[in-house]
Amino acid sequence: MFGLLRRLRRDERGQAMVIGAVAMLVLAVSVMASVSIGHGVYEKIKLQDAADAQAYSFAVKEARAYNFLAYTNRAMIVHYSAMLTVMSYVSHAVYLDQTVRVAASVLKVIPGIGAIFAAVEQAIRVWKTAVETVARVLIPILTGLNVALWLAQEAMMLGTVKDLFLAKDPNGVYQGTDPNARPGFVTSGSSLPDQETLDGNDIANFSNMKNFLHAIDDGPHSSETSFSLTDPTGLRQRSKLLKDNALSDPDMAKYRLLMGNLANAVRREWTAVGKGPFLIGRRWDLNLCILIGQVRIDKVADSQIKSFSETFEGNRKDQLFASDDVKIEARAGCFGIFPWKTLFELRFRAAADARDGFHQENGSTKTDRHHRWTGITPFLTSDTSFIKPWQNHFSYPCNIIILTKDMMPADDREDKPFHMENLSRNAFMEGQGSKKRDDPDEGIGGGFLDMTWQAVGGLNGERDVDAWAFRKKTGGMMAMAVGRAIYHRPGDWKEEPNFFNPLWTARLAPVKTHWEEKMLKAFIPEWDISDRDFSNALSY
């Protein structure tokens, strides 16, 4: 008996079993921890990808909307240029009618060559009638097309606003990337109409909508905390251009002067200042020196969109104006000693305006009122600002996407997230820690060896409240992304945005903006870097 006990005491077999059991426990815990961490990283990557996809999707919508504004604005300019060209033809036809045709009507009585002048006279009559007819028909058509383009601009803006504000997940962008993602919460500081009916996602979408519209002239300014949702794009303000308005009204003058100057800038040379052969062209000159003196004939032309003061003949102020003028001057001698003296001038004018337009021949009263033009029609342009460029993003629209994911296990959930079921149910070290970790309301017992999402954030002194608040608001996981639609001409990214040049592109921007600070302050008050006790730890 004693011998058996001595043999057992000296027997070393089975020692590896104890070491193996301990090692397997450590290995099992390590594997489970690695799987849990890997799963968490995978879920966070999916959620971040979903947020990025949504932010980029919104930025693409904004860039497409702005490019549409640019294309349609350019189309309007082409139409105004065409109107000016037509009026130039009318003015030139009036000039030919009152000079060359009149001369031909006299010279047609000359035997032999009279038939040629008779043909010239008839051709000019037909030409004048043709250009008059084209002007009467084409100007209203082009004006109507510009109004239609403006309405298309407004429809594009309202459609984009609808997607930014009302759609929870347009086209299933983030749900297609992560089916478990859900809209997060935003504390934007914006005052919303009927705020009780809006959830956190609506507040985020409201902020995105305002950032999209603040670059639009007559839209909400970026500094405004609230605006009416009944007319978010400023359509009512721009529509005043279709009615009688005063040039002294800066809200109207900015549209008329901008579009008028742009249309004048793209005129062809023949339209702007005229050119052409002697006698029948829009611009030519003749200089003759005879024995007793010198005679000079200057033929000049001009065509432009004009904006007159509201006191000008009771007019609506906007005019498609064209002129062909002839000045005859003479002076004694041919050596420049004596000054020029004007013998007489011939003025041939044509204009289209809200008073049905006019002709003015040889300086006489205006006649033939049949070129009605309603003036510059509404269009959308930008209200750019370099004030606080980091905050206003050089007027580039900036949208923020906050997505969260419920990672907290619950018995009544059908789609339970991955977690260590056994470890979360067996509190074999309960109450053994230096601090009690019991929180029955959250289903956590003190001392759990728990690697699940129930303990995200930890429980460290007074920060427990923030950790629990974060988990309650987000479900344990949050991802944030910022998308921007920017106007970028290579080599000069700070160039002012241009709604007449379709160079807007979508970019996914780093979340190092005022959005990040605002969001993190909402969740973690200590993030406020103005707090001296916390500034060193969080400064970057």
Q: How far apart are CA 231 and CA 207, in angstroms?
A: 16
User: pLDDT value at position 222?
Assistant: 57
Q: Residue 377: name the closest of 502, 252, 267 by CA.
A: 252
433 lies in a domain? no
User: pLDDT value at position 217?
Assistant: 83
- Check pLDDT > 50 for residue 493: yes
Domain count, the chain: 1
Q: Residue 374: name the closest of 78, 152, 79 by CA.
A: 79
Residue 125 burial (C-beta neighbours within 10 Å; 0-12, 13-18, 19+): middle
Question: What are the tens digits of pLDDT across the range 411-423?
Answer: 555 555 555 554 4
Query: Who wins on pLDDT, 475 or 241?
Result: 241
437 lies in a domain? no
Q: Residue 369: name the closest of 386, 351, 385, 383 by CA.
A: 351
Question: What are the tens digits of pLDDT across the range 259-307?
Answer: 999 999 999 999 999 988 988 999 999 988 887 888 999 999 999 998 8
Range with top average pLDDT, 101-110, 157-166, 189-198, 358-367: 101-110
User: pLDDT value at position 41?
Assistant: 84
User: pLDDT value at position 111?
Assistant: 85
Q: Which domain range does residue 394 map to?
A: 17-407+456-509
436 lies in a domain? no
423 lies in a domain? no
User: pLDDT value at position 189?
Assistant: 36
Query: Who wins on pLDDT, 22 or 299?
Result: 299
534 lies in a domain? no
Q: What is the pLDDT of the chain when averaged over all its residues?
A: 76
Q: How far apart are CA 184 and CA 48, in angstroms?
A: 13
Question: What are the tens digits of pLDDT across the range 300-331?
Answer: 999 999 887 666 666 667 889 999 999 999 98
What percent of the chain has a predicted confidence (pLDDT) above 70?
68
User: pLDDT value at position 194?
Assistant: 37
518 lies in a domain? no
> pTM of the prediction?
0.78
- Lowest model confidence (mean pLDDT) among 149-158, 404-413, 515-524: 515-524
